[in-house]
Amino acid sequence: MALENALFGQTACIWEATARKVGNVHPTAHFANLEYTQFLLSATAIGRAFIGVPDGRILGAVVHEVIRLTQHLVGTNTNLGMALLLSPLAIVPAGKEVHAGLKWKLARLKVSDTALVYRAIRLAKPGGLGDAPEQDVRDEPTVTLLEAMRLAADRDMVARQYANGFADVFDFGVPAFTDAFAKFGCVEAAIIDSQFRWLATYPDSLVARKNGIAVAQDVQRRAATVLQLGGIATPEGRAAGVALDKHLRSDGNKLNPGTTADLITACLFVALRENKVTPSAPFRWQVPDWL
């Protein structure tokens, strides 16, 4: 199962980075300090870290190994959120139902997991981190990782997944992706459609952390407008999506919806592991009026 999880994790990361999502890096859109190849290299770090995960490996060690390898390969933070979301899924033993096994693992997290995850966060140096009123990542933790994530759940969608047992991933995100895949017949369109559904439902945590919640809610309203116009299934919806992409990139990519990208990657991993989609599925979305 470790090999399968490594392949699923790497595939999910490559798919997410390659899909032409609004506001994110992809093959034809780069940031000043980030380019597409760095995300591909980061995907190999996920795969390498997961391939050596035996049953019983503590979560914090897996997260830290992903970030250590990523820093060695690209020297910047490209996948902290992905590491935090994918690692709990990857340590669910073979033969266990993924969601039930995940909840079982989360309930057994220890303070040692928190310490290793805090070390990984400090190593990654994510943008807009700020200070926490308690259990700050710069301090030595005194609570389990689940308890620490619950403290941040109201302001961070990754932490929220730990607090609610990944309910948003399993109950919202995975169905959104699989429904879109059935509708469009290719992975890229399903990912792009999923992104708009995530953005229209939940303000992106990274956008909020860097720009404030009001700005994140404005992005949420703009994404909802895209869906109201028919989403990527209609010319009007695609035109609104292209306009939103320009808006998100208009100020040095400060509106990059990075947390949503992390959540989509987790959904892709689950869909792959549960055989709702296969790595050989058609990927490219063939439309002339998209990014």
User: What is the structure's pLDDT at 266?
Assistant: 98
User: What is the structure's pLDDT at 129?
Assistant: 61
Distances (CA, A) of 193 to 137, 203, 231: 34, 16, 7
User: What is the structure's pLDDT at 151?
Assistant: 95
Mean pLDDT of the residues in the chain: 94
Contacts of 284-290 with C-beta under 8 Å, sequence gap 24+, read 284/186, 284/188, 285/20, 285/184, 285/186, 285/188, 285/189, 285/192, 286/186, 287/232, 287/238, 289/235, 289/238, 289/239, 289/242, 290/20, 290/192, 290/232, 290/238, 290/241, 290/242
Encoding tokens for residue 243?
């306009």
Residue 279 · residue 7 · CB < 8 Å: yes
**Residue 133 pLDDT grade (very low, low, confident, very high; cuts 50, 70, 90):** low
User: What is the structure's pLDDT at 56?
Assistant: 56
**Residue 284 pLDDT grade (very low, low, confident, very high; cuts 50, 70, 90):** very high
**Domains along the sequence of the chain with CATH:** 2-273 (1.10.4200.10)
Q: How confident is the model over 248-264, as pLDDT tens digits?
A: 999 899 999 999 999 99
Interior angle at CA 197, CA 209 and CA 205, nearest 5:
10
What percent of the chain clears pLDDT 90, i.e. is strictly above it? Answer: 88
User: What is the structure's pLDDT at 126?
Assistant: 86
Above 80 in pLDDT, residue 135?
no
Query: Distance between CA 262 and CA 14 in Å, rounded?
Result: 12
Above 60 in pLDDT, residue 130?
no
Under DSSP, the state recorded for 263 is H
Query: Distance between CA 97 and CA 162 in Å, rounded?
Result: 17
User: What is the structure's pLDDT at 137?
Assistant: 84
Above 90 in pLDDT, residue 71?
yes
Q: How confident is the model over 72-99, as pLDDT tens digits?
A: 999 999 999 999 999 999 998 877 789 9
* Number of C-beta neighbours around residue 91 at 10 A: 23
* Number of C-beta neighbours around residue 289 at 10 A: 10
Lowest mean pLDDT among 5-19, 82-96, 139-153, 166-180: 82-96
Under DSSP, the state recorded for 172 is I
Above 70 in pLDDT, residue 149?
yes
User: What is the structure's pLDDT at 2?
Assistant: 78
Q: How confident is the model over 221-238, as pLDDT tens digits?
A: 999 999 999 999 999 999
Above 70 in pLDDT, residue 132?
no
User: What is the structure's pLDDT at 7?
Assistant: 95
**Residue 136 pLDDT grade (very low, low, confident, very high; cuts 50, 70, 90):** confident
Which is more confident, 151 or 126? 151
* Number of C-beta neighbours around residue 139 at 10 A: 10
Mean per-residue pLDDT for 275-291? 98
Above 80 in pLDDT, residue 134?
no
User: What is the structure's pLDDT at 93?
Assistant: 81
